[in-house]
């Protein structure tokens, strides 16, 4: 993983392998270091986690600086890094491309760009395609994962927006997107239809209890990411543990890394 | 909790109540917001958690800026806040007092100041007492929890450093410390001796599986904090969850807060 070009190519190859890329998402340095140390070849970030860790709302274009600072701090980890940029923190394609250029200079090999907007509506697909094109023009080797929030923002009562998803995915791939991410898609039939009709590696969100990685592999999914799930698991586990102590229960401790293990985690992290 | 003076007094009273103050330690905005939302009247920070979350070593005076920025972001939460300052991030008492003045201006009601040094040795007790005196001269109402690392830094084979702990605690209380924190103390006999011979509320670290809060209350402990434990529990839970998915196991999801719950957590956080 020495030359930048090798890292871009390595990340791209993970989307065209026999098994899907299983991509865990980190929210701070420690979580990324733990995942890298645990052998994941690539790690993503989660915009909800980054926003919550820093006390800002998600999907509100509020965390550009925090996202860039985190990406820079993670660049020394021995893993490939892809960064969740929400909608790019700007409506100006050149501004989004500038940010991606900075991220690539910091060693980032991929980004997510979503067409969902903070107000719960979907962006015009041509405008979103314009951002993708601007980013690919600036850093052609970088893997742009175009996220469409057709399912994510649909209500439970709405019909599955398969046709709109395929139309949007087509526009984004034509603009240069290297992969398409459809969070919130749940059933096997729909996933199969999306794999068949989208001409790029399909990324779905891991939904606890819904599918295993093996089942998603069988449906033709190329990438499975965890989104904000690990961040939420972490937060929930901490609150449950402390509440049990407050209630007067005994809690055992062997399931947490030790103080010394965490100190090692944050010091032994050279890329090379 | 409107006027600053009321908050200082409220935090002090929690150390002189019928039950010990059970103080959970947060490492970022989300964890502090979750704990505040869960009804803890006071929340501390953990220097290990803050360091690891930002990719820096603990107990190395490396996270002054991150600690201050975090404290400022937490000041809008509806809980009393005390901040772990390691050894104050400086050997100069006036510089430490300047930092505490900034923290108090941001609404912080207490700090921890430790006599352990990054190289694993203990500071000269008179020098540490000088920091405490400088801080109390600057912000008299603020609760200074003087931490001595006599037990924390002792090897397992060393005799329990009870006498040195009591001598150091005496010097710190004379300098103005409002409480004394002895992390790493484990057995009931030692805790009882420290309670008897230290003329200030005694804070011990919660050790999973060792004592319940009720047992520590019975020994006369005034404050029980969780240190880095919750941070480590959170990190361990996330890694275990993702590893189970990687192994192909089904995981259920009801134990994590939802995306919407986290968004509410980071938006509904007004102090008043």
Q: What is the DSSP string of chain A?
A: --SHHHHHHHHHHTTSSSS-EEE-EESSHHHHHHHHHTT-SEEEE-HHHHHHHTT--TTSS--HHHHHHHHHHHTTSSSEEEEE-TT-SSS-HHHHHHHHHHHHHTT--EEEEE-B-TTS-BPPHHHHHHHHHHHHHH-TTSEEEEE--TTTTS-TTSPP-HHHHHHHHHHHHHTT-SEEE-TT---HHHHHHHHHH-SS-EEEE--TTT--HHHHHHTT--EEE-TTHHHHHHHHHHHHHHHHHHTT-----TTS--HHHHHHHHH-----
Tell which A residues from 242 to 261 touch B, by Cβ distance under 8 Å: 242-243, 245-246, 248-253, 255-259
Task: Work out the pLDDT band at A80, boundaries 50, 70, 90.
Answer: very high
| Residue B211, pLDDT score | 92
Q: What is the mean pLDDT of residues A172-190?
A: 97
Across residues B42-68, what is the average pLDDT?
92
Identify the residue with better confidence: A96 or A158. A96
Q: Give me the phi and psi of A160, to 5 degrees please.
A: -60, 125
Given a cut of 60, whether residue B243 has pLDDT beyond it is yes
Contact B241 A229 (CB under 8 A): yes
Q: Kindly report the nearest CA distance between residue A230 and chain B, in angstroms.
A: 5
Which pLDDT does position A251 carry in this prediction? 65
Q: Which helix (H) or strand (E) holds B255?
A: none
Report d(CA B153, CA A259) in Å as an integer: 13
Gap between the Cα atoms of A229 and A186, Å rounded: 15
Other beta carbons within 10 angstroms of residue B155's beta carbon come to 5
How is residue B207 written in tokens?
A: 């050790």
Nearest to B229 by CA among B42, B48, B39: B48
Strands B223-225 and B110-114: unpaired
State residue A252's pLDDT score: 66
Res. A270 pLDDT band, cuts 50 70 90: very low
The nearest CA of chain B is from the CA of A239 a distance in Å of 7
The whole-angstrom separation of Cα A268 and Cα B247 is 25
For residue A60, the model assigns a pLDDT of 86
Q: Give strand ranges (E) for B109-229.
A: 110-114, 143-147, 179-181, 202-205, 223-225
pTM over cut 0.90: yes
Radius of gyration of chain B (CA): 19
Which of B219-223's residues contact partners 24+ apart within 8 Å by CB, and which partners? B219/B188, B219/B191, B219/B192, B219/B195, B220/B191, B220/B192, B220/B195, B220/B196, B221/B20, B221/B191, B221/B195, B222/B15, B222/B16, B222/B20, B222/B21, B222/B179, B223/B14, B223/B15, B223/B20, B223/B21, B223/B23, B223/B145, B223/B179, B223/B181
Question: What is the pLDDT confidence band of residue A57, given thresholds at 50, 70 and 90?
Answer: confident
Do A182 and A174 form a contact (C-beta atoms < 8 A)? no
What pLDDT, on the 0 to 100 scale, is given for residue B159? 83
What is the rounded average pLDDT of the residues B104-115? 98
In this predicted structure, what is the pLDDT of residue B156? 75
Q: CB-based contact (8 Å) between A162 and chain B? A: no
> Between the CA of residue A216 and those of A69, A191, A224, B198, what are the distances in Å?
33, 9, 8, 61
Q: Give the per-residue pLDDT at B224.
A: 98
Task: Specify the pLDDT at position B253.
Answer: 55
Distance from CA of B176 to the nearest CA of A (A): 30
Q: What is the mean pLDDT of residues B149-155?
A: 92
Q: Give A251's contacts in chain B (Cβ within 8 Å).
A: 208-209
Please give the pLDDT value at position A272.
34
What ipTM does the predicted assembly reach? Answer: 0.94
Confidence of residue B56 (pLDDT cuts 50, 70, 90): confident
- Asked if residue B15 lies in contact with residue B178, where contact means CB atoms within 8 angstroms, the answer is yes
pLDDT tier, B268 (very low <50, low <70, confident <90, very high otherwise): low
Closest to B11 (Cα-Cα) out of B102, B76, B104: B104
Q: Which residue would you say has higher pLDDT here, B21 or A251? A: B21
With a cut of 60, say whether residue B1 has pLDDT above it: no
Asked if the Cβ–Cβ distance from B29 to A263 is below 8 Å, we say no
Phi, psi of A73 (to 5 degrees): -70, -30
Mean pLDDT of all residues in chain B? 93
- pLDDT above 80 (res B206): yes
| Confidence grade of residue A209 (pLDDT, cut at 50, 70, 90) | confident
Rounded to an integer, the average pLDDT of B91-117 is 97
Tell whether the model's pLDDT for residue A172 goes beyond 90.
yes
Instruction: Give the one of A55, A253, A257 whose C-beta lies nearest to B208's C-beta.
Output: A253
pLDDT on residue B251: 65
Is the Cβ–Cβ distance between A171 and A126 less than 8 Å? yes
Mean pLDDT of B115-138: 96
Q: What pLDDT is stored for residue A1 in this prediction? A: 47
pLDDT at position A253: 55
A48-57, A126-135, A261-270, B120-129, range with the lowest pLDDT? A261-270
Q: Is the pLDDT of residue A157 over 90?
A: no
pLDDT at position A160 is: 83
Give B256's contacts in chain A (Cβ within 8 Å).
Answer: 208, 229, 232-233, 235-236
Percent of chain A whose pLDDT exceeds 90:
82
Find which of A55-69, B222-236, B249-263 is predicted with most confidence, using mean pLDDT.
B222-236
pLDDT averaged over every residue in chain A: 93
- Residues B216-240 have a mean pLDDT of 96
Q: Which residues of A touch B155 (CB under 8 A)?
A: none
More confident residue, A189 or A59: A189
Is the pLDDT at B32 greater than 50? The verdict is yes
Shortest alpha-carbon distance between residue A136 and chain B (Å): 30
SS3 B266: helix
Calculate the alpha carbon distances from B3 to A136, B8, B50 in Å: 54, 9, 28
With a CB-CB cutoff of 8 Å, which residues 67-106 of chain A face chain B? 73-74
């Amino acid at each position: 993983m020495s030359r930048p070009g090798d890292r871009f190519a390595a990340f791209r190859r993970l989307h065209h392998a026999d098994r899907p890329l299983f991509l865990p998402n980190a929210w701070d340095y420690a979580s990324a270091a733990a995942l890298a140390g645990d052998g994941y070849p690539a790690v993503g970030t989660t915009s909800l986690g980054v926003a919550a860790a820093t006390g800002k709302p998600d999907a509100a274009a509020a965390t550009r600086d925090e996202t860039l600072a985190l990406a820079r701090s993670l660049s020394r980890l021995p893993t490939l890094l892809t960064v969740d940029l929400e909608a790019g923190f700007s409506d100006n394609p050149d501004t989004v491309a500038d940010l991606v250029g900075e991220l690539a200079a910091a060693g980032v090999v991929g980004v997510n760009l979503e067409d969902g907007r903070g107000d719960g509506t979907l962006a015009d697909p041509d405008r979103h395609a314009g951002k993708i094109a601007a980013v690919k023009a600036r850093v052609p080797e970088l893997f742009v994962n175009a996220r469409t929030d057709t399912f994510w923002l649909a209500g439970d009562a709405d019909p599955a927006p398969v046709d709109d998803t395929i139309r949007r995915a087509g526009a984004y791939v034509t603009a240069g997107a290297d992969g398409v991410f459809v969070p919130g898609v749940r059933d096997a039939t729909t996933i199969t239809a999306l794999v068949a009709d989208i001409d790029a590696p399909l990324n779905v969100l891991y939904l606890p209890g819904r599918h295993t990685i093996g089942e998603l592999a069988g449906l033709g999914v190329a990438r499975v990411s965890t989104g904000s799930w690990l961040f939420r698991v972490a937060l929930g586990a901490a609150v449950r543990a402390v509440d049990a102590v407050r209630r007067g229960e005994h809690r055992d401790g062997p399931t947490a890394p030790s103080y010394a293990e965490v100190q090692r985690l944050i010091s032994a992290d050279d890329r090379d």
